A and B are shown apart, each in its own frame.
Chain A
Amino acid sequence: MSKKEKEKELPKEDLRIGVFICDCGSNIAGHLDCKAVTEYASGIPGVVYAKENLYTCSEAGIGEIQNGIKEHNLNRVIVASCSPRTHQPLFQNSCSAADLNPYLFEMVNIRDQCSWVHMQERDEATAKAKDLVRMGVSKAAFLEPQMDIEASLNPRALVIGGGVAGLTAADTLAGMGLEVVLVEKDKDLGGLLRKIHRVAPYGNEASERISGLIEAVTDRSNISVYLGSQLEDVGGYIGNYEVGIKRDSGETVQENVGCIVVATGAVPLVPEGLYGYDGEKVITQMELEGRLKKGPVEAKGVVMIQCAGARSPEREYCSRICCQTAVKNARLLKEQNPDAHVHILYRDMQMYGTENEQMLWDARGEGVRFDVFSADQPPSVEEGKVEFYRSLTGKTVEIPCDLVVLSTPLVAREDAAGLSQLLRVPMDQNNFFLEAHAKLRPLDFATDGIFVCGSARYPANVEEAISQGLGASSRVATILFKDKLVVSAIVAEIDEDSCVGCMGCMDMCPYGAIDYLPEKKICQVKTILCKGCGCCASTCPSQSAKLKGFKPEQILAQIRAL
């Protein structure tokens, strides 16, 4: 604390601004006149020191900043160089090291915005750099010292869902030494995998593996398992969630956790009204799993129809895992009864990767038949046969059969919407949970502290669910293994006196960082969740929501300087 107490908080009238202009070798200086910009900067009111550096980010450049702060008693520092995205943290830390509050630092980007985009226009680039520097100086006058926000962390994790993804996450987190609360709606752990006969591609017994995992989880002393239980309410935020869990007995228990993993899985669609589904002679793959588990399936001819209830206008997505499931089960049927005719009617065989495609080759070799149909001419199921149009020969073909198996997609659970509201995390158009970034943050929610894995995100096979369960625990560990949570002070604040409680900001906030306080009839920012995006500030009709570091007077000062 002593260092922070030393930090200078000088009144605005005593401005002592230092401006450092970076040549970036020739990257900036090659395309604009850095010397002229430096001279210009030294003449702006409030600027007591202006210096041109060859490389401001080099050791020598950093030294210049720190010497400048000491020798010229600077209370604001501006670096005109490259992108704040890459270099702001470095410069802020350098200010800190010289006992200047890092929030009294301002960055101006004369590389991307001047030398790069105006490469052939030296005079214009120089003039623009001067403008940007002047704007930065004007804003700097209004900067305020800030303290990073710190919060405590409860090193416990809640895992919702006891299927293979959730069990993997719980087991991994507990293995790392964290306490885990595992909530499962069902009376038993294991999820969908309990109902599966064997797992592709090597035909491993699913039950063996899942019972091993259940045993490991129940044996761990640092995992509390709540069976037949559901989440009732969720309060708090990253680091300190208070969760109400309703047990099957009817009582509600309170648990406090630091992070949450959503692993609630998905369910196979029951194809009522599709292809004459009756659960007897026309069944789903999941029902076939049940029959395979019991013993040999009595059928001489089996036709499997893919995309039953999927990739259609009402349910557009591909459920990813049904093709591999169908091929796996087709092979098991052939293994039980090599004389059985097993035929798969498909639109695209989604056998992605190494083992799946190999399984497809193997199935063909073992005599499983495959035929393509197109979405506008689906097969028709009739008594004792399936008819379809074979475009390769241009003829309609009949396949005699005594069992039809429909490969139906995994669909989101009905109660997913409720959970999404409780946790305030979004779902996609198919009611699967929506991750923060489709490519780069597949297991994160935009809201800090909550993660997703397995089929709750999107249909996943066992291997993928396990990888994601492991991945989600890693994401949790990166938070809960720290002593405390430290976040940037650039967050929004809402003025209690002028807020009218219209809740406009709550709708705009992508991070669920704003609460409505009914007793005061105002909105309030949960600073620890705020990412400083400024959506609330730009929405607020009474200008009560303001973003620190980007307050109206700070932005207006920049604009007026132009």
Chain B
Amino acid sequence: MLDVGRHPNIELMAYSEVEKVDGEEGDFKVTVRKKARYVEEDRCTGCGACKEKCPTILPDAFNEGLGDRRAIYSWFAQGIPSTHTIDPDHCRQLNGKKCGICAKVCQADAVNFDQKDRVVEIDAGAIIVASGYKVFDPSVIPEYQYREIPNVITAIEFERLLSASGPTGGHLDRPSDLAVEAEIHELEKKVKKSQKAIGKLEKKHGQDSAEMVEAFQSGDYADDDDRKKWAAKYAAHLEIVEPLETLKKKAEGFSVAKRLAFIQCVGSRDFRFYPFCSGFCCMHSIKEAIIANEHERETTSVIFGMDIRAVGKGFEEYKVRGGNQSGISYIRGRIAEITEGPNHNPVVTYEDTKERRVKSVDFDMVILATACAPNEGVEELAEILGIGVNRFGFFETGTFQPLDTTVPGIFACGCAHGPMDIPESVAQASGAAARASLVIMDSKMREAS
């Protein structure tokens, strides 16, 4: 990213969309909309003072909603360009309310609420489409109960939990436990507030609340309105203290997730959703299981898959090592359903094809290895570019021209034209650059002659 951001021959247009493409191979005219960030890219130094003061708190999409961000934000810490953006749907100032705090704290004077979208036209000899893929949303699979059972999460959510810079600092805290902790946090705030109010009254009257309430209940202070309110306040206070204590006691028993299940082919190899194999998910699960084990050595993982497709260089060896050294077991088969057991533990029901028995096993957390789905907007982009989409919903390319789309001069690489892993994507990116260079060199030569 950094290399791209710094390269003198690369103009980076992040937060921008292609709207129109005219022309042909060697001579395209591309219309791009640069969306308003409300932050001047060339002034913003990425220091982040603005987001520290922004009062609007929103779920952080980069962390899969597991953490939060502000209305002025950077997508993630080391992103390129290292600039911030205001979310126009949620910013107070942009929605007619009084605020503008970010503009006040920004010492680089980069915030500009009057910024507008800019539409620019680019001349290009060739176009490379590298628009990636979309993570499949498994909530449409009824038998897995994603979003119904809190401790059933996706591989990408799990990735954020594993990340040292993620919402849990790399601890495998279970979403059900995190919810309780959030509740405790809220209650504590309330208790603190009511304690303050009660404390004031105690000080004012020089009397302990419990004592006063006892006397009040036995008939004293019948005409004292102030004490009457005090008694009510104290009762309400006790009403929140009790559940808080219960929750706190419950939270004492929480520990990080140590028994994990990974479910492969969630949305992939499934005629209801995507018939194809997403290629990288088996290795992704193995990697996540190995890292989880590195975090806590007693962590064990079961990976449920129809086949474990460890097909890249060094992958099979990695898979075997995961089994031998990182507490992973591999079970062949597609699981039947996930239900919720005691303590919010997901229970996985499956057929053990080796023992020919149906089993139900409970885990601390279940991770769904979701499909690599065609990206949102593929159809629209295909229409703008005039290129074909294949029967799987990805951009169409061929066996012998694997990076050429159906339109000369337009190339595709990476998951935009089918699921693939990182090394394959990187190799293809270089390949697409070579195809594009050939087109540009050809057109230059034609111009010269």
Contact = CB atoms under 8 A, between A and B. Distances in A.
Interface of A: 24-27, 30, 54-55, 57-58, 85-86, 89, 172, 175-177, 199, 201-202, 204, 209, 311, 316-318, 320, 348-358, 361, 372, 374, 391-394, 428, 432, 438-443, 453, 457-458, 462-464, 466-475, 477
B86 to A, nearest CB: 17
A358 B316 contact: no
A27 B316 CA distance: 44
Contacts of B310: 318, 348
A466 B428 CA distance: 9
Contacts of B316: 311, 316-318
Residue from B45, B394, B430 with most neighbouring chain A CB atoms (10 Å): B430
Contacts of B433: 474
Given A25-B49, A354-B390, A467-B428, A176 B441 contact: yes
A470 B45 contact: no
B47 A318 contact: no
A453 B308 CA distance: 26
Contacts of A348: 307-310
A209 B400 contact: yes
Contacts of A391: 353-354, 356
Interface in B391-423: 392, 394, 399-403, 418-420, 422-423
B332 A441 contact: no
15 contacts: A25-B49, A26-B49, A26-B52, A27-B47, A176-B434, A202-B399, A209-B400, A316-B317, A354-B390, A357-B269, A438-B314, A441-B426, A470-B435, A474-B431, A477-B437
Contacts of A354: 276-277, 390, 392, 394, 418-419
A442 B279 contact: no
Contacts of B402: 463-464, 466-467
Given A204-B399, A440-B422, A467-B403, A358 B311 contact: no
Nearest to A28: B47
Nearest to A169: B434
Residue from A55, A351, A471 with most neighbouring chain B CB atoms (10 Å): A471
B334 to A, nearest CB: 14
Contacts of B426: 439-443, 471
B232 interface: no
B427 A468 contact: yes
Contacts of B434: 172, 176, 470-471, 473-474, 477
A377 B81 CA distance: 55
A131 B380 CA distance: 57
Contact of A439 (B353, B400, B423, B432): B423
B277 A470 contact: no
B122 interface: no
A361 B269 CA distance: 9
A472 B311 CA distance: 21
Interface string B23-64: 000000000000000000001010111001000000000000
B314 A428 contact: yes
Residue from B401, B429, B435 with most neighbouring chain A CB atoms (10 Å): B435
Contacts of B269: 357
Nearest to A307: B316
Contacts of A439: 422-423, 426
Interface in B282-311: 307-311
A156 to B, nearest CB: 17
A86 B78 CA distance: 10
Interface residues of B, number: 60
Contact of A353 (B2, B276, B422, B423): B276
A468 B442 CA distance: 22
A176 B437 contact: yes
Nearest to B271: A361
B275 interface: yes
B118 interface: no
A349 B269 CA distance: 12
Contacts of B311: 318, 320, 350, 352
A352 B438 contact: no
Contacts of A353: 276-277, 279, 418-420
B329 to A, nearest CB: 14
Contacts of B442: 175
Top 6 A-B pairs ranked by shortest CB distance? A25-B47, A470-B431, A471-B430, A348-B307, A474-B434, A471-B431
A438 B52 CA distance: 38
A395 to B, nearest CB: 11
B424 interface: yes
Contacts of A320: 311-312
A316 B320 contact: yes
A318 B418 CA distance: 21
Nearest to A30: B49
B229 interface: no
A459 to B, nearest CB: 9
A413 to B, nearest CB: 17
Contacts of B390: 354
A25 B107 contact: yes
Given A25-B47, A352-B277, 12 more contacts: A26-B49, A86-B2, A318-B311, A320-B311, A348-B307, A350-B311, A442-B427, A443-B427, A463-B399, A466-B402, A467-B431, A471-B434
A352 B431 contact: no
B431 A392 contact: no
Contacts of B52: 26
Nearest to B441: A176
B108 interface: yes
Nearest to A357: B277
Contact of B400 (A27, A55, A462): A462
A474 B279 CA distance: 25
A350 B307 contact: yes
A471 B424 CA distance: 10
Contact of B430 (A361, A438, A464, A474): A474
Contact of A172 (B279, B419, B424, B438): B438
A464 B424 contact: yes
B180 to A, nearest CB: 27
Interface in B240-287: 269, 275-277, 279
A392 B385 CA distance: 49
A438 B48 CA distance: 34
Nearest to A466: B402
Contacts of A350: 307, 309, 311
Interface in B337-356: 353-354, 356
A391 B314 CA distance: 28
A85 B423 CA distance: 24
A392 B275 CA distance: 24
B277 A356 contact: yes
Contacts of A27: 47-49
Contacts of A25: 45, 47-49, 107-108
B313 interface: yes
A357 B276 contact: yes
Contacts of B116: none
Nearest to B332: A372
A468 B422 contact: no
Contacts of B332: 372
Contact of A471 (B309, B392, B420, B428): B428
Contact of B314 (A26, A177, A317, A469): A317
Given A464-B424, A472-B430, A58 B47 contact: no
Nearest to B432: A470
B356 A392 contact: yes
Nearest to A177: B441
B221 interface: no
Contacts of B43: 58
B315 interface: yes
Given A318-B311, A350-B309, A475-B430, A358 B275 contact: yes
